[in-house]
Amino acid sequence: MRRNLRSALLVGAVAVVTAGCADTASAPGGAGDSGAGATPASVTGALTVLAAASLTDAFTRVGADFEAANPGVTVTFSFAGSSQLAQQITAGAPADVFAAASPATMATVVDAGDAAGEPAVFVRNQLVIAVPDGNPAGVTGLADLTAPGVKVALCAEQVPCGAAARTALDAAGDDLVPVTLERDVRAALSKVRLGEVDAALVYRTDAAAAAGEVDAVEFVESAQAVNDYPIVPLAQAANRAAADAFIAYVRSAAGQAVLAEAGFETP
């Protein structure tokens, strides 16, 4: 009788251990699971993203896709010049994510201790010369921008598009004097769209977004002024889980496809 009881207990113990191993192997993310096909839990709540003005169209689409994939999340964007956004963040503006148009403006936030972790470069962008549709001034390169009577808009130099423009102009030895310095790339582009200037140095993506209203003239010196775009969750993020999930989505194949369609380059 004692032998039978001992055998029954042994069989029961083996059954429990076997069942436990089976549960572990089948549970998503368990020791026996490779993680393939596992779907992370959806995030919820409000998410505030501060992003460079040149990301307006692409990030608006990415944000809508992210919300569709995470129905409990509401994404609010604030688009402006990166330097302006960096100043807002260091002054305490509430936000969860910062996406800048240059490492230099991101460094302002990192150096102030307002970034949570290491920024990741997720795309690159390059300058073109935006001219009105049909290129009435016949602009073919930077040298044409200094011709008598040609009015040019640039971004202010503290803004990434302005810093890149200055780098390109210096590389060309071009002493261009613009008629206006704008707060961000979209403001510079608007001067062309409104017919107030003959040309503006803007990102390729911004000119593409205004196709039909402006033409984009490529110039060789722009290769020396390519901007990396870093993104990071912020230290004061009220919704860190959503911030991390959004950044992961931006860097995913789906997010990168939207950005590539807008004209951004893979880093």
- % of the chain surpassing 70 pLDDT: 85
Question: Which of 71-75, 133-137, 173-177 shows the lowest mean pLDDT across its residues?
Answer: 173-177
- Residues 84 and 161 sit within 8 Å (Cβ to Cβ): no
217, β-bridge pairs: 129
Statement: residue 34 has pLDDT above 50: no
CA distance 10 to 204: 72
* Tokens representing residue 34 in the block: 């490779």
> In the predicted model, is pLDDT for residue 24 greater than 80?
no
Residue 266 DSSP one-character state: P
What pTM, to 2 d.p., does this model score? Answer: 0.82
pLDDT of residue 41: 60
Dihedral (CA of 208, 214, 216, 222) sign: negative
Assign 65 to helix, strand or coil.
helix
Which CATH entry fits the domain spanning 45-124+228-261: 3.40.1010.10, 3.30.565.10, 3.40.50.1390, 3.40.190.10?
A: 3.40.190.10
What are the DSSP calls for 144-156, one per residue? GGGSTT--EEEE-
Tokens at 108, concatenated: 């302002």
Q: For residue 192, what pLDDT band results from cuts at 50, 70 and 90?
A: very high
Q: Directed axis angle between helix 56-69 and helix 253-261, to 10°?
A: 150
Residue 206 reports pLDDT greater than 50: yes
Return the closest-CA partner of residue 214 out of 151, 129, 149, 145.
129
- pLDDT > 70? residue 36: no
DSSP three-state, residue 95: coil
Predicted confidence (pLDDT) at residue 28 exceeds the cutoff of 90: no
Tens of pLDDT, residue by residue over 79-131, are 999 999 999 999 999 999 999 999 999 999 999 999 999 999 999 999 999 99
- Cα separation of 117 and 120, whole Å? 9
Task: Delimit the CATH 3.40.190.10 region(s) of the chain.
Answer: 45-124+228-261, 127-224
* pLDDT at residue 46 tops 70: yes
Taking CA 142 as the corner, what is the angle to CA 138 and CA 148, rounded to the nearest 5 degrees? 60
CATH number belonging to the domain at 127-224, selected among 3.40.630.10, 3.50.50.60, 3.40.50.300, 3.40.190.10: 3.40.190.10
